[in-house]
Amino acid sequence: MRLTFYMIVAIRLTLSLSLKYILKSLEEELFYESILILEGSSQSDTCWKQKDIQEEVPVLNLNANQSLYLKDTFNTDILVLVCIHKNEGKTLQALYSNLEDMRDTPTVLFVFSGYNIRDLLKKCFQNNMLNVVAFKGQDREFIYSFQAFPSFQLIKRPLKKVRRYFEPQLENLGGYTLKALPDNIIPRTVVYRSADGNRQLTGYLLPFIRNYLSTINANLKICWELIPEEGMVQLPEVIRLSEINGVDFPLGIHGIEHGSTKQYVMMETSSWFLMLPAEPWVPRAHFFISLGLEKVLPLMLLMAMVLSNAHRIEMGLGPSWRCYVLGDRVLRGSLAQPFILPKGLSAKMMFIYWLLLLYGFFVSNYYVVHLETWLVDPPTGYVIRSWDQMRNLNLKVLTVPTEFNIMTQVLGNDFINDNSNIIKISNSEDFQNKRLSMDQSYAYPVTQTLWPLLEQGQVRLRKRIFRRSRELVLIPFLIMAMPLPKNSVFHKSLNRYWALTQQSGLYEFWFKRSFNDLIALRKINYKIDKYNQAYHDFEWLDLSFVWFTFMGGTLISFLVFLGEIGHYWWNLKRIPNFIGF
């Protein structure tokens, strides 16, 4: 009886340690949809039997001499089984190559060589593979894993007591220090010196990454030695320095279409356009000329002729072109002014006068509304809508070499060659200073990220000095992302954290708060008018056209009056002489 009991226990223990049991447990934990089998040699029977592999899911078999880029071409919800029997170095290299850009894939190592388990798992960790467990030899009683942070530690657990094969590695880093390299592009990251001379960092990406590290219990170290005192660090240089110096987080945002790394965190959607010096307003004195009142005169003349001939036909007279008798009524009616209607008008004449009054109502309201609108929001004399207009005005676009290369990719070599005389390339320090100070000597390419801050800096101006161009758009839709080092272990974790900051509104809050930080550091200033003149709704010069028209009309009326008096006296002198003769 006791022997039977021991045999049952031994059988259950053997079953519990079989590959089928392990795969079943991993399926319940990982919900994988396919299996990748990587064999170091043809002797895979030493690691498992083919019948032990589940047939319910697709299986991809590779050996150490085969390499595929599985990212985006194969289901990423996979489980990797690796048989290490001989030539373990080559097998591991094949593993790293096949899991390029997806090193977080759960991987199970079956080690049958004399290779040390600790060294094997440490190599996996050094190649950014955190989700790795291992079994040694035929004995599957123990499972080996490791704790990556804050220091590497080998963990050995009895398989029958394991409830979770792959423990999360990024929930608590135990105060581990991670490196960040800011690109010093305002307003994302801003490097400055404090009152005591120490270099400091601000910008809306700093609270983003700092709060992320606090959620995983890690510390932040800024690589000050890699950041210049002034000027920006462009994307290619950020990526190069990050790879050389083992930087964990390149703090910068760049368009994924133009040279970003394969792994990135999508941060914003934006656009890339030109900010142009605002065109001058039309002087108020010219508003009345711009109304185009002279276009109404032919219609008024036509209406006077119609009304005059209608009166003549009513009286039984023939038509005539002489209409000056009713000119006063037509003028008053067109300007929506009151006048006295003749008595005893017929229905037809009343209808004509009604049309005159209705015409005057619409015309006067049309011009009054335009005039009031222009007084509140003055129109510009001309609007820059094309590159040819910029060339005619001798307005140049200031940019840096990196952005110039992107402009060439977007607009084409032919376009850049044709417009090379209006593009000026400068260094990053001069470019950033002039753009932030809003130097009106140039136009500047700017993204939707920076433009709201520059626009906010103009709120105290009576007239803004820069405007966003809706016509000269370089890239209408741009996905801005923060690049990560190759095969970064923080890729998925940081993406999840970004989604949480977006949903909670924290990211937008940090972005808006960065404006006040830049104001305090005097990186951006509120623009104020150079000439602080007292504000007047109207000045005498604003109505100069009205005064000239009034004085001209008065002078003409006076001359006509003098002419009438002279004509009267001339006729008066002629009549007696004529009678006496």
Sorting pLDDT into bands at 50, 70 and 90, what band is 136?
confident
pLDDT in tens, 520-553: 888 888 877 766 555 556 666 767 777 777 888 8
Percentage of the chain exceeding pLDDT 90: 11
Q: What is the pLDDT of residue 581?
A: 40
Determine the Cα–Cα distance for residues 1 and 190; give it in Å rounded to an integer.
78
Residue 145 has pLDDT above 80, yes or no: yes
Of 22, 52, 25, 15, the residue nearest 7 (C-alpha): 15
Q: What is the pLDDT of residue 14?
A: 41
Q: What is the pLDDT of residue 7?
A: 41
Is domain 15-161 classified as CATH 3.40.50.2300? yes
What are the distances in angstroms from CA 163 to CA 21, 26, 143, 159, 451? 13, 10, 12, 9, 52
**Largest distance between two CA atoms of the chain:** 170
pLDDT in tens, 87-126: 667 888 888 888 888 888 899 988 877 778 888 899 999 9
pLDDT in tens, 244-288: 888 999 888 887 766 566 788 888 888 889 999 988 877 776 666
Determine the Cα–Cα distance for residues 424 and 496; give it in Å rounded to an integer.
41
| Sequential DSSP letters for 322-357 | --GGGHHHHHHHHTT---PPPSS--HHHHHHHHHHH
pLDDT in tens, 200-217: 888 899 999 999 999 999
Q: What is the pLDDT of residue 531?
A: 61
Span 21-48, average pLDDT? 76
Q: What is the pLDDT of residue 237?
A: 83
Of 101, 81, 79, the residue nearest 32 (C-alpha): 79
* 3-class SS string, 481-501: EEECCCCCCCHHHHHHHHHHH
Determine the Cα–Cα distance for residues 214 and 309; give it in Å rounded to an integer.
90
Percentage of the chain exceeding pLDDT 70: 87
Residue 497 has pLDDT above 90, yes or no: yes
Residue 9 has pLDDT above 90, yes or no: no
DSSP 8-state symbol, 86: S
Query: Which fold would CATH assign to domain 170-280+380-531?
Result: D-Maltodextrin-Binding Protein; domain 2 (3.40.190)
Q: What is the pLDDT of residue 378?
A: 74
From 309-323, 497-511, 527-541, the region with the lowest mean pLDDT: 527-541
Of 90, 106, 84, 125, the residue nearest 33 (C-alpha): 106
Residue 16 has pLDDT above 60, yes or no: no
Q: What is the pLDDT of residue 10?
A: 39
Span 137-166, average pLDDT? 86
Residue 371 has pLDDT above 80, yes or no: no
Q: What is the pLDDT of residue 30?
A: 85
Domain boundary assignment for the chain: 15-161, 170-280+380-531, 284-376, 541-580
The mean pLDDT value of the chain amounts to 81
Q: What is the pLDDT of residue 206?
A: 92
Residue 12 has pLDDT above 50, yes or no: no
Span 73-95, average pLDDT? 80
Higher-scoring residue by pLDDT: 146, 76: 146
Q: What is the pLDDT of residue 260?
A: 60
Sorting pLDDT into bands at 50, 70 and 90, what band is 575?
low
pLDDT in tens, 184-204: 888 888 888 888 888 888 889
pTM for the model = 0.73
Sorting pLDDT into bands at 50, 70 and 90, what band is 317?
confident
